[in-house]
């Protein structure tokens, strides 16, 4: 069952229950009020008859003619004034207390006998000694009034309550019709309001389904500023986070796939060459010079694989987000370590390394930052012509490595930090590069909160600028 239908049913049942309870209370109060009004009216009518009879008897009626007078009085009573007069009963007591009383029926147009009337329990109604009792016969309800006139005349009046019951039944019909009408109108209004209120939830549900099917660009339009509007905003933020995470995962997976493919290729190339030279040495008798050449190649390729494996290990270790301990280190010490490590490759190509610093200190892991400078210097050496120059410079919050070599094309500058990416693949292969140096540099810089900027023009050289963000 949908939420809107459930709310409608619950509201309908609650409204009907509350309305019916209110109707019952209203009918009980109204019924009691109508009954009291009917009894008061009947009492007034009965009292009028009693009063009129007493006035007639005060004119002087002989005991022996009292019965005749009573018959005359009730037969000539103006019944058209009130229909209740037709239900008056009159009895006359004759005789004495010593001889015993005899009760004579004077006027009775009902089926009630004196024994039935006398057996009723009467409640005193007023100071005029008029009592009343409830009486039921079949489906009819009555109230019987009783009083004595001159101690020997017994008067009764039987008043039907059917008119009052008809009024209550009519009122009940009106109330039920009004209740059902109000309930129907309220449910119609509630249906329209709920449809308007819950429409965003329906759109949100449909958007969620499309999102679950992989359409991560789905968003809902926020039209309101209430709780549902807040829910829509939260959904959009969640969808954006899901889309970003999914895109990052896809890109990460793509990078890993490329990484593994490139790694396999980088490992396969020297392994294939070493395997070929090894088979040649085993199967062919070579001259000492050729044997030395083959062994030297195998040795160099083994060194290349060793360097590649070390860089891979560092990359994997840094990628685990392990905590680095950064210490405030003089740049002079860093430059000395990098210069010593690169002395051989610099001398091989007769490259001059110039270090410029003014006693700067930066928070760093010295070994990792030394690797960064080694990689940048190594790239500068590869890009430079023999006899060139590379400058290591420290200033403000930056360390800069500048070469005056071939430079990097503008469309390549954003890609060179990717693993295994090489601008000049043939030259990098010949010099033993695998395209991991700058990827390692980028990862180390990230862990040091260092931003890397590249300022390079083809034919003019490259400036790699490392800026320490924590020092700003």
Q: How far apart are CA 380 and CA 314, in angstroms?
A: 22
Question: Which residue, among 429, 426, 470, has the nearest Cα to 451 in the 3D structure?
Answer: 470
What is the structure's pLDDT at 425? 44
Question: Which residue, among 62, 43, 193, has the nearest Cα to 129 in the 3D structure?
Answer: 43
- Give 123: exposed, middle or buried? Use CB within 10 Å, 0-12, 13-18, 19+: exposed
Question: Which residue, among 409, 402, 423, 414, has the nearest Cα to 458 in the 3D structure?
Answer: 409
Which two three-digit tokens encode residue 410? 């503008």
The domains of the chain, with CATH numbers, are: 3-168 (no CATH), 323-471 (3.30.565.10)
Angle between helices 288-318 and 227-283 (to 10 degrees): 160
What is the structure's pLDDT at 431? 44
Q: How far apart are CA 46 and CA 147, in angstroms?
A: 10
User: Which residue has 């195998």 as its token pair?
Assistant: 298
What is the structure's pLDDT at 297? 75
Q: How far apart are CA 147 and CA 90, in angstroms?
A: 10
What is the structure's pLDDT at 353? 93
Q: How far apart are CA 447 and CA 323, in angstroms?
A: 9
What is the structure's pLDDT at 369? 87
- Residue 404 CA neighbour count, 13 Å, CB half: 11
What is the structure's pLDDT at 434? 41
Per-residue pLDDT of the chain (472 residues; tens, 9 = 90+): 577 777 878 888 888 888 888 888 888 888 888 888 888 888 888 888 888 888 888 877 888 888 888 888 888 775 555 555 568 899 998 877 677 778 888 888 888 888 889 889 888 866 668 888 988 887 788 889 999 888 889 999 888 888 777 888 888 888 888 888 888 888 888 888 877 777 777 777 788 888 888 887 778 777 777 777 788 788 788 888 888 888 878 877 776 676 666 566 556 656 766 787 788 888 888 888 888 888 887 887 787 677 667 666 665 665 555 667 889 999 999 999 888 888 888 888 899 999 999 999 999 988 888 888 988 998 899 889 999 999 999 998 899 999 998 888 877 767 666 654 554 444 444 444 445 667 778 878 888 889 999 898 888 899 999 999 876 5
Classify residue 60 as left (phi > 0), alpha (psi -120 to 50) or beta.
Answer: left
What is the structure's pLDDT at 83? 53
What is the structure's pLDDT at 429? 43
What is the structure's pLDDT at 224? 72
What is the structure's pLDDT at 156? 92
338 phi and psi angles, rounded to 5 deg: -70, -40
The secondary element (H helix, E strand) that includes residue 280 is helix 227-283
Alpha-helix runs per DSSP H in 398-453: 425-430, 437-447
Which two three-digit tokens encode residue 368? 């990792």
What is the structure's pLDDT at 307? 65
């Amino acid at each position: 069952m949908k939420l809107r239908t459930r709310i409608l049913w619950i509201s309908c049942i609650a409204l009907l229950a509350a309305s019916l309870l209110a109707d019952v209370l209203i009918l009980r109060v109204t019924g009691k009020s109508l009954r009291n009004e009917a009894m008061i009216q009947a009492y007034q009518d009965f009292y009028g008859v009693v009063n009129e009879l007493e006035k007639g008897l005060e004119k002087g009626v002989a005991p022996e003619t009292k019965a005749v007078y009573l018959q005359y009085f009730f037969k000539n009573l103006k019944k058209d004034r009130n229909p209740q007069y037709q239900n008056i009963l009159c009895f006359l007591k004759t005789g004495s207390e010593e001889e015993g009383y005899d009760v004579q029926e004077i006027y009775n147009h009902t089926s009630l006998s004196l024994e039935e009337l006398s057996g009723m329990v009467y409640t005193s109604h007023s100071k005029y000694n008029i009592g009343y009792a409830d009486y039921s016969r079949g489906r009819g309800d009555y109230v019987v009034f009783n009083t004595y006139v001159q101690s020997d005349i017994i008067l009764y009046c039987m008043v039907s309550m059917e008119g009052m019951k008809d009024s209550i039944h009519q009122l009940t019909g009106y109330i039920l019709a009004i209740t059902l009408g109000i309930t129907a109108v309220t449910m119609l209004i509630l249906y329209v309001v709920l449809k308007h209120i819950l429409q965003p939830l329906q759109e949100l549900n449909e958007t969620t389904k499309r999102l679950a099917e992989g359409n991560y660009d789905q968003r809902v339009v926020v039209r309101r500023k209430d709780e549902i509007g807040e829910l829509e905003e939260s959904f959009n933020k969640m969808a954006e986070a899901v889309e970003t995470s999914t895109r990052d995962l896809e890109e990460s997976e793509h990078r890993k796939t490329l990484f593994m493919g490139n790694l396999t290729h980088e490992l396969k190339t020297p392994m294939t060459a070493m395997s070929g030279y090894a088979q040649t040495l085993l199967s062919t008798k070579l001259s000492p010079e050729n044997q030395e050449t083959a062994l030297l190649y195998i040795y160099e390729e083994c060194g290349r694989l060793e360097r590649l494996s070390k860089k891979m290990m560092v990359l994997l270790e840094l990628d685990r987000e392990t905590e680095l301990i950064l210490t405030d280190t003089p740049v002079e010490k860093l430059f000395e370590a990098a210069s010593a490590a690169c002395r051989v490759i610099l001398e091989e190509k007769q490259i001059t390394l110039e270090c410029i610093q003014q006693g700067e200190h930066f928070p760093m892991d010295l070994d990792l930052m030394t690797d960064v400078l080694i990689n940048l210097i190594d790239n500068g050496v590869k890009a430079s012509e023999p006899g060139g120059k590379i400058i290591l410079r420290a200033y403000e919050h930056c360390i800069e490595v500048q070469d005056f070599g071939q430079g990097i094309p503008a469309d390549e500058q954003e890609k060179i930090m990717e693993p295994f990416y090489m601008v000049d693949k043939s030259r990098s292969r010949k010099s033993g590069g695998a395209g991991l140096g700058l990827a390692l540099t980028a990862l180390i810089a990230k862990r040091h909160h260092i931003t890397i900027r590249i300022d390079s023009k083809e034919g003019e050289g490259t400036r790699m600028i490392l800026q320490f963000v924590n020092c700003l």
